[in-house]
Every structure is written in C-alpha cells, then in structure tokens.
Amino acid sequence: MADKTAELRAILKLQPVVPVLVIDDLEAAVPLARALVAGGLKAIEITLRTPVALAAIRAVAERVEGAVVGAGTVLTRSDYKDCEDAGAQFVVSPGTTLELLQAARKSKVPMLPGAATASEVMSLREEGYSVMKFFPAEQAGGAAYLKSLSSPLAGTLFCPTGGITLAKAKDYLALPNVICVGGSWVAPTEMVEAGDWSGIEQLAREASALAD
C-alpha cells in the first residue's frame, strides 16, 4: 500500500491541475492528450463515461510520449481490471465501495478513491488511504469545507474535482491539504470538437502556471 501511495502522490504532484476528460471521438484522444502534455499537464484522467473511453486510454498510453494516463469514473471491479488492461497508470473513483477496495488491493495500479464527508475520509484512512478525491467539490462545500477538514483530519491530502474553474482552483491549491485539483475546463467540448489543439495547449499552460 505504501508503494502505491507513493506512486500516486508522485503522479498527482506532476502538476497543479489534472485534466478530467470525457472523450466522445476516439480520433481526438491522441491529439488532445498531446496538446495537454505540451502545455505542461502530463497526468490525464480519461473518464469511463463514453463507449470509446477504454480505447482512448489505450491509445494515449501507447502513443502519447510523456503522458501519464489515468482512468476516471471507475465504479466496479470489472472497470478496474479493464482500465489496468488498457494501460491506465492510476484509477479514480467518484466514491468508494468494498468491491473497489478489494480490486485496488489486488491491482498494481494505485487508486484515488472518492470521498465527500468526514466519515468517508475516516473509513478510507482505516483502509490505509491518505490521498483521496474530494468530489463533487463545489457542490459538497467547496474550498471552505475542505479547509475545515484540514485540522481534524490532518495528514490526508485531497484532489478536489467537480465544478472547479481556473479562478476557483487557486483557492483550493492554497489549502494545506490539497495536492492538486481536477478540472475539465482545460479541454472545453467546443474546442475539442473544433480540433483547436493550440488553444487547448494554451489553457493547459495557464493551468500549469498555477504551480508558480
């Protein structure tokens, strides 16, 4: 568990923002990932929300140099196995179940489990997790709520995701218990559909600069 936690921390520390992608067109996956990596966002989460998601993960893993591709919206044991087989280097879930915890124990791929309440965080800590996804961040209380957890649940780090924008990201990243944020704003649907890879690269550069 310690090795996988260290691996996950290293991935999440690559950048201040992890792009959260919903890919509808498989042909867009590789150029999109290349634009994000060129802009400084190497760790990329491709969510299992479309029929081409697993193929997109495999394509990015095999063809995009420098990319660290992860799988998001992982809900079941079979999802976990499919993502590992596709080449995902980390797995992200919106919440946590016993089935997912069991799958994570058996896999070499680290999991970023989702939590939204103090009780959920405490339960995950009992399972050995110290890095979690705070989801849905804005709807669950935002940066102020997460700040309130920093003292009673010291030692736990979060990647808040859900409703976060470039402006809001700064508030989260200023917190002592935030390792990075997840966001979809770096790859707007209209820019992906238009193939505006240079524009997406610029958005990625702006997000990457939040680390400065």
Determine which one of 4, 42, 84, 133 is catalytic. Answer: 133
179: domain CATH number is 3.20.20.70
Q: pLDDT at position 32, please?
A: 98
- Tens of pLDDT, residues 174-204: 999 999 999 999 999 999 999 999 999 999 9
Residue 77: inside a domain: yes
Q: Hey, is 111 helix, strand or coil? A: strand
Give the integer Cα–Cα distance in Å for 204 and 123.
Answer: 34
Q: Alpha-carbon distance 105 to 135, whole Å?
A: 22
With respect to residue 107, please indicate whether it lies within any of the assigned structural domains. yes
Does residue 169 belong to any structural domain of this protein?
yes
212 located within any domain: no
- 85 burial level (CB within 10 Å; 0-12, 13-18, 19+): exposed
Q: What is the pLDDT of residues 108-139, one digit of tens each?
A: 999 999 999 999 999 999 999 999 999 999 99
The whole-number pLDDT of residue 210 equals 97
181-183 and 68-72 strand pairing: unpaired
Going by C-alpha positions, the residue among 48, 99, 47 that lies closest to residue 77 is: 99
- Has 42 been annotated as catalytic? no
Q: Whole domain around residue 28: which residue ranges?
A: 2-205
Q: Is 193 a catalytic residue?
A: no
Residue 83: both structure tokens together: 């993502």
pLDDT for 212: 80
Say if residues 108 and 136 touch (Cβ distance below 8 Å).
no
Domain presence at residue 210:
no
Tokens of 200: 């997406």
Closest to 47 (Cα-Cα) out of 11, 85, 88: 88
Catalytic residue, from 42, 45, 84, 201: name it.
Answer: 45
Q: State the total domains in the chain.
A: 1
Task: Report pTM.
Answer: 0.97
Provide the 3-class DSSP secondary structure of residue 80. helix
pLDDT of residue 136: 97
Q: Is residue 123 part of a domain?
A: yes
pLDDT at 35: 98
- pLDDT, position 88: 98
**Residue ranges of the chain whose pLDDT lies below 50:** none
Query: Is 211 a member of any domain?
Result: no
In a domain, 140, yes or no: yes
How far from 161 is each of 3, 34, 130, 208, CA to CA, in Å? 24, 22, 17, 16
CB 72 within 8 A of CB 20: yes
